[in-house]
Structure 1
Amino acid sequence: MGFVDFLATLGEYLPAVTKPKDRPSLATKLLWSFIAVIVYLVMASIPLYGVTSANSFLSNFLAEEIIFASTQGTLAQLGIGPIITSGLIMQILVGSKLIQMDLAKEEDQARFTEAEKGLAFVFILVESALFGYVFTRTAGNIELSAIVTVQLIVATYIILLLDEMIQKGWGLGSGISLFILAGVTKIMFWDMFGIAAVSNQNLPVGFFPVLISDIVSGKNILSLIVNTSTTTPFQPDLVGLISTIGLIILIIYLTNINIQIPVTTQRLRGIKTTIPLNFLYVSSIPVIFVSVLGADFQLFASLASYISSPASTVLTDIANAFFFPPANVPHSVFALVVDPIGAAIYAVVFIVLSIIFGILWIDVAGLDPATQAQQMVEAGMEIPGMRNSPKVIEGILARYIYPLGFYSSLIVGVIAVLATFLGVYGTGVGILLAVTIAIQYYNLLAYERTLEMYPLLKRIIGE
C-alpha cells in the first residue's frame, strides 16, 4: 500500500458528512452556511483551557491568522491551516505528476478527496501536539499539554467537518473561503468599529470610536490622520481607511478584467465564442505562499530558540524580511520614515518571491499552456485559422498565459506591499482574499438564484 493509498484509507474511516439526497434550496444552503459561520466565530471566541502564553508565542502571526482563518489562543487556533496545507500539497503532487491521478475520473477524484482528508487529519494531529507543547512549556505539565492538544484536535476537526458539509452541497461554495472571508471581515470591522482592544489578537480600539471619543473630549484629531504612536502601533488611522476603500475598488476592477481568446467548437461549426483568461491569472496564490513561508520561518525560529540559539537567530533574521513593520513601530505609512531600509528589504523579498511562486504555480497547478491546450482539444475547441493540434494551440496560449502569470504575480505582490505600507485594515493579503472570495460568492448567488427562477435550466445543465 502506497502513501496516498494509506491516506485515502485513513480518510475513509474518519467521521464524515453525507451528501444531501436532493439538491437543497438556496434558502437552505444559506441557512447551513450561516450556521457554519456562527459555529466558527463562536469557536474563534472561546479561549483554550490552560493556555496563558499564546500572545507571547504568536505575537506577529497576523498574516497567518488571515490566511488560515485562525485566532490566537482560542479553539480556532489552527483554523483551516491543516486543510489548506494538505490541499496545496496534494494539488502540487498531482500537478507535478509525482503521483499518478486523473481527476477527470470519478474514482481517482474520490481517492484524491479521501487522501486529502487523511493528510489534513495527520496535520491536525501533528500541529495540535506541537502547539499543545509550546503553549504549556512554561508549566512543564504533561497532562495540561495533553488537554490543550485534545482541545485543538477536536475543534479543528469540527472545522474540517463544517468545510466538508458546505462543499458536499449543504451550503454555498466552500467552508475554507467562507471562514477566510468571515475572519478578514471581523478584523476589518474591528479596525473600524471595535470598542475595546484585544491585545492577544493585536486588535485595537476601532478608528471611529477613537474619532468620536477625541471629538467629544476636545482632543486634537489630527493625530488620527497618520498613526505615529509606538505605544499603540496597531491603531487604525485615516490614511489606512482611505487606502482600504481605494484598494478594494482597485482589486474589484482588476478582477473583472479578462483577456478574450477567440475559439470555435467542432459541434457548432460557424459559431465563434471566446475563452476568458482573467487578468489576475494566478489570483492571490503567490502572496498566500509568501505569507505562509514567512509565518513558517517565524514558527521554526520560535521552536529553535529552545534547541539552538544560533539557529534561532538566523531563522529570526530570515523571518523578519517577510514582515513589516517591526515590533513597536506604528503599522502605518509612518513606518516608512522610521525604517526605510527594512521597508525596501521587505518589498524586494515579497515581490520577487510572489513572482517566483506565481510562475511555479502555473506549472504545478495545471494552468500551463500545455495542459490548457490539451483540455481545449479534448473539449472539441479550436482557434480559428489554426490547426487543431495541442502543440499549435499551446504555442498560442503561451503568448498569453506566461505574461499574464508574471504580471498578475507582480501586481498582487505590489498591492500587498503597498497595502502594508499604507496600513490598510485587514492587511493587504486579507483584502486580496476577501474581495476575490466575495466576488466568487456574488457570482455563485446569482447562479443559484437563476436556477431557482428557471427550473428547466437544471435539466439542461444536469443539476
Structure 2
Amino acid sequence: MLALVTTIIIFLVIVYVESTRIEIPLAHTAVRGARARFPVKLIYASVLPMILVRVLQANIQMIGMFLSNAGMTILGEFQGQHPVNGLMWYIAPINQPQDWMWWLADLGHAPWEILLRMGIDIAVMVLGGAIFALFWVKTAGLDSKDVARQIQRSGMHIPGYRRNEQVLVRYLDRYIPRITIIGGAFIGVLSVVANLFGVVGAVGGTGLLLAVSITYRLYEEVASQQIMEMYPFMRGFFGKE
C-alpha cells in the first residue's frame, strides 16, 4: 500500500512540475504579429542526470566489490553484490524501504549509522543531480548560448530587446542556469523519496521518474508537431527543416 501511494504521489508531482515553467515571450522578425513563447521548465535537464548519478554510484560500488573480492577490504566487505560494512556501505544507494527501516527487521547496523547512510544518499542525489544537470545542459546544447543561437536562426527575438545574440544570452542567463540547478536538486529529492518508500513494480525511483517524464514529453512532442503544422514558420524554432 505504501508503494502504491508513493507511486501515485510521485506521478502527480512529476506531471505538475513538468508543466511548471517560465515562458520567455518571443516575436518573429519577418512575420508581423507572430508571437511565441520559449518555455524554461523547472525540470529543464529532464531526469537523465539522475541516471548519471546512479551510474557513478554503481561504478564506485563495483570498484569496492572488486577490491573486496581481491581480499582488500579497506573500503568495506561485500556479500555477493551488496556491501555489509565500511565506506562502501555508507555510500551505497538506498533502493527500498527494507534498506533503512530498522524497526521492521534487524539490519545489522545501529540506527544512527542507518540515518547517516540516508543523509549521505540524500546529499549525493541532490548535489549530484544539480551538478549533472548543469553538465547535461552544456553537453546537450540546452545552455543559454545554444538556445540564443537557435532563437536567432528561427528569426525570433525578445520584444523590447535588441536583435543580438549576446543580448539573448544575457537574458537567458537570468533563468536557465538557476532553474537547471533547482530542477536537478528537486529531481534528486524526488528520486530519494521514491526509493525510500518504494514504488509499484521493480523499476525503482529513478526508473519511475524517467517513465513519467518520457510519457509527458512525448505528449508535448505531439503538441509541438501540431503547432508546426498550423504555423510552418515555427519549424526553424523547433529545429526542423
User: Structure 2 length as normaliser, TM-score?
Assistant: 0.77
Deviation at 1:289, TM superposition (A): 0.9
Runs of 5+ in structure 1 lacking a partner?
A: 1-237, 451-456
The secondary structure found in structure 2 opposite 1:399 is: coil
8 A Cα contact 1:286 1:409, kept in partner: yes
CA deviation vs aligned residue, 1:140-164 (integer Å, no higher than 9, x gap): xxxxxxxxxxxxxxxxxxxxxxxxx
Return the match for 1:323 from 84, 90, 93. 93
Corresponding letter in the other structure for 2:48: I
Structural mapping, 1:89-168, within 5 Å = none
Matches within 5 A, 1:38-437: 238-307=1-70, 309-310=72-73, 313=76, 317-318=87-88, 320-324=90-94, 330-331=98-99, 334-335=101-102, 338=111, 339-425=114-200, 426-437=203-214
Deviations 1:176-230 (A, max 9, x none): xxxxxxxxxxxxxxxxxxxxxxxxxxxxxxxxxxxxxxxxxxxxxxxxxxxxxxx
Give the conservation status (yes or no) of the 8 Å contact 1:331–1:423: no
Matched-pair contact (CA < 8 Å) for 1:255–1:278: yes
Q: 1:378 Cα deviation (Å)? A: 1.8
Does the CA-based 8 Å contact 2:125-2:185 persist in structure 1?
A: no
Q: CA deviation at 1:432?
A: 0.5
- Structure 1: 4+ residue segments shifted above 6 A: 445-448, 460-463
Higher relative CO (CA 8 A, sep ≥ 6), structure 1 or 2? 2
Q: What is the RMSD of the two structures over their aligned residues, measured on CA atoms?
A: 3.1
Q: Is the 8 A contact 1:297 1:319 kept in 2?
A: no
Question: What is the rounded CA distance, in whole Å, between the counterparts of 1:256 and 1:336 in structure 2?
Answer: 39
- How far did 1:299 drift? 2.1
Say which SS state the counterpart of residue 283 (structure 1) adopts: coil
Q: Work out the CA distance in 1 between the residues paired with 2:222 and 2:26.
A: 28
CA contact (8 A) 1:335 1:421 kept: no
Deviation at 1:264, TM superposition (A): 0.9
Task: Give the whole-Å Cα distance in 2 for the aligned partners of 1:319 and 1:276.
Answer: 41
Q: For 2:215 and 2:27, how far apart are their aligned partners in 1? A: 32
Aligned-pair CA distance for 1:306 = 4.2
Give the residue type in structure 1 aligned to 2:11.
I
Contact map agreement 1:263 1:275 (CA 8 A) in 2 = yes
- The residue aligned with 1:6 is none
Q: How many residues align?
A: 216
The answer to whether the 8 Å contact 1:336/1:343 transfers is no
Change beyond 3 A, Cα 1:325–1:430:
closer
Could you report, residue by residue, the CA deviation over 1:232-287 in whole angstroms, capped at 9, with x for unpaired residues? xxxxxx22221111111111111122221001111212332211122210111221
Runs of at least 5 residues in structure 2 that lack an aligned partner in the other structure: 105-110
Q: 1:335 to 1:286 in 2, by over 3 A?
A: farther
Q: 1:21-65: CA deviations, max 9, x gaps?
A: xxxxxxxxxxxxxxxxxxxxxxxxxxxxxxxxxxxxxxxxxxxxx
In structure 2, distance between residues paired with 1:393 and 1:298: 43
* Residues 1:443 and 1:349: Cα distance change in structure 2 (over 3 Å): closer
* Partner AA of 1:323 in structure 2: P
Q: C-alpha separation between the residues in 2 aligned to 1:398 and 1:445?
A: 28
User: One-letter code of the match for 1:376?
Assistant: I
Asked whether the 8 Å contact 2:48–2:210 carries over to 1, the reply is no
The structure richer in strand per residue is 2
Distance 2:223 2:168 in 1: 33
> CA distance change for structure 1 residues 353 and 374 in 2, over 3 Å: closer, same or farther?
same
Q: Which structure would you say has the larger Rg?
A: 1
TM-score (norm 1): 0.42
